[in-house]
């Protein structure tokens, strides 16, 4: 759920999670894990034409 929200609304939602990380460690952990997953997904999208745009 967090992954989908971050993927669709990444600007504002990421900022919100970073801002709340000071008061809620769980938010910080969710943000870190989600950011890592998004980065991995972006790498996979670049490598596999079926998952997303790819260089010829």
Compute the distance between CA of residue 17 and CA of residue 41 in angstroms, rounded to an integer.
20
Tens of pLDDT, residue by residue over 7-54, are: 554 444 454 445 554 555 555 555 566 777 777 777 777 776 665 555
Q: What pLDDT, on a 0 to 100 scale, did the predictor assign at position 43? A: 77
The model's confidence at residue 1, banded by pLDDT at 50, 70 and 90, is very low
Compute the distance between CA of residue 15 and CA of residue 23 in angstroms, rounded to an integer.
14
Compute the distance between CA of residue 54 and CA of residue 22 in angstroms, rounded to an integer.
38
Whether the predicted model's global pTM rises above the 0.95 cut: no
Q: What pLDDT, on a 0 to 100 scale, did the predictor assign at position 41? A: 76
Q: What pLDDT, on a 0 to 100 scale, did the predictor assign at position 2? A: 46
């Amino acid at each position: 759920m967090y992954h989908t929200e971050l993927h669709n609304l990444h600007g504002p939602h990421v900022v919100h999670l970073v801002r709340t990380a000071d008061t809620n460690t769980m938010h910080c952990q969710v943000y870190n894990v989600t950011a890592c997953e998004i980065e991995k997904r972006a790498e996979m999208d670049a490598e596999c034409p079926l998952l997303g745009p790819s260089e010829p």
